[in-house]
Amino acid sequence: MKFITTFFIIVFVSSFSYRAEASFCDKLFALKNYLLAKNYPTSREYQQAYNALLKDTTKLSKGHKAEEHAIHSLNFIRAFRKESLNASRKSNDSIVFIGLQAFDLSIHPSFHNEFYVIFGEILESKGYYQSAMVYFDIAGESKRALGLKIQVANYLYENNVTIVKEIAKESATPTYLAHTDNGTMVLVKPNQEIHLYSPWRAEGEKKIVHHTSLNEAGAYIYGMLLKNYTPLLVRRKALRSEYKIVKGEDITIQLMIPRILQVDYVIPPKNQFQMFDYIIGNVDRYRGNYARYTTGAGDLRNFIVLRKLDHQYVYIPIDGGAAFAPDEMLIYSKRFTTLSKFEFPINREQYMRVKGLNDELLKELLQDVLPEELIADSLKRKSALVRFIEAKIKNKGESYVFSD
């Protein structure tokens, strides 16, 4: 059975009311034409785009000078293209780089969603499907994100992948960089269970880590329900033997987010993933990984940061291979955030998603992925977390518990 088929009923699709003003639609289409242009625009094209950007600016909010934004946007794109055209001519990512630079433009908040849709379309056109889904979703285009997810998931399930090399050799489970027949880069892991001392164990810690690619799949299901933007993952049989993978063996295939889109200089807040990691029993997202990332060991990070406008960011948890650790390990692990270690305030929207998780649906989705006892343990942690936070709300008040 396809791993992806069961998620259709649990993706919460929010309706999006498109109320963008016509004047700004004109600007965005003009900007999009610039970003997607394969050749340097001619003077006539520049003038047409300039006129579109300046068209009907009176509807913008009081004090917002549309003319200045229009001129700044066009001149920025024009100057950037002129400067980088020759250097990036051979790069398929030149348009993506231009789009990333556009995040520095001053764009009125009421028009952010339109910008994200345009950037998502650019990423989709380049085969960066996971990132495109993220930007479609934060723009309120959940149906579009879901449609792309279904399309890509079915493709990953049915088509060959070619392994390029083994990566993250310090990891406990084999991980391979691969690409599909249409050139999409993916991560492939065999369904291999490994019991060993953690290569990242703290001083004096003697408990073992239980690594398996099925844990990764279980973490993906939880991440999908909690809207963590964890990269799309499918489980299937290997269609051919390659490297250490045998034809017919169970494997997981997961989309990647390219490094050019990732923000290198931002670290998620310490408590960003604590609710998620508590529920899934993850013992491998500790502060030491954050520190190692800042010192240059980038392959050890277990999170991804993407840009939003106005210097905001999207934080995405990855690598759930050490999730669903047994209770006897969690008790002793220094890398598991127990309830006594929880930090407040927390994000209200994140908590409401946790509170709204349906136990029966989770059992159905996880039954082909995890042993029954590990599913039960995660559900018990979820219930314990809700009781804990509700008690905090009662005793300390919402102003203490929530950051928003």
Higher-pLDDT residue of 316 and 182 is 316
The amino acid occupying position 291 is: A
User: Are the C-beta atoms of 223 and 243 separated by less than 8 Å?
Assistant: no
Q: Which domain holds residue 229?
A: 5-11+155-401
Higher-pLDDT residue of 112 and 56 is 112
Residue 222 structure tokens: 């939880």
Higher-pLDDT residue of 214 and 354 is 354
What's the rounded Cα separation, in Å, for the pair 317 and 219?
10
Does the residue 17 lie in any domain?
no
Does the residue 318 lie in any domain?
yes
Does the residue 149 lie in any domain?
no
Band (pLDDT 50/70/90 cuts) for residue 329 is confident
Residue 143 neighbours by CB distance under 10 Å:
15
Question: What would the mean pLDDT of 180-208 be, rounded to a whole number?
Answer: 65
Q: What is the structure's pLDDT at 61?
A: 44
Q: Is the pTM of this model over 0.75?
A: yes
Strands 250-255 and 233-237: antiparallel
Point out the least confidently predicted range of 22-26, 91-95, 96-100, 187-191.
22-26
What's the rounded Cα separation, in Å, for the pair 164 and 148?
25
Question: What strand order describes the sheet that includes 233-237?
Answer: 161-167, 175-180, 185-190, 250-255, 233-237
Does the residue 146 lie in any domain?
no
Does the residue 340 lie in any domain?
yes
Last residue in a domain, options 140, 168, 184: 140
Q: How many domains does the chain have?
A: 2
Question: What would the mean pLDDT of 52-62 be, rounded to a whole number?
Answer: 46
**Would you say residue 84 has pLDDT above 70?**
no
Residue 103 structure tokens: 């995040």
Does the residue 123 lie in any domain?
yes
Question: What would the mean pLDDT of 394-398 be, rounded to a whole number?
Answer: 96
Same domain, 130 and 249: no
Point out the least confidently predicted range of 188-192, 330-334, 349-353, 386-390.
330-334
Last residue in a domain, options 113, 140, 167: 140
User: Are the C-beta atoms of 305 and 373 separated by less than 8 Å?
Assistant: no
Same domain, 50 and 82: yes
What's the rounded Cα separation, in Å, for the pair 165 and 104?
36
Band (pLDDT 50/70/90 cuts) for residue 363 is very high
Q: Max alpha carbon distance in the chain (Å)?
A: 70
46 contact partners, CB below 8 Å, separation of at least 6:
74, 78
Q: What is the structure's pLDDT at 293?
A: 35
User: Are the C-beta atoms of 211 and 281 separated by less than 8 Å?
Assistant: no
Same domain, 260 and 360: yes
**Would you say residue 335 has pLDDT above 70?**
yes
pLDDT (tens digit per residue) in 162-182: 999 988 666 666 789 999 998
Mean pLDDT across the chain:
76
> Per-residue DSSP letters for 133-202?
HHHHHHTT-HHHHHHHHHHHHHHHHHS-EEEEEEE-TTSSS-EEEEEETT--EEEEEE---EEEE-TTPP
Same domain, 81 and 161: no
Higher-pLDDT residue of 130 and 80 is 130
Band (pLDDT 50/70/90 cuts) for residue 404 is confident
Strands 250-255 and 185-190: antiparallel
Nearest to 357 by CA among 392, 338, 335, 384: 384
Higher-pLDDT residue of 41 and 95 is 95
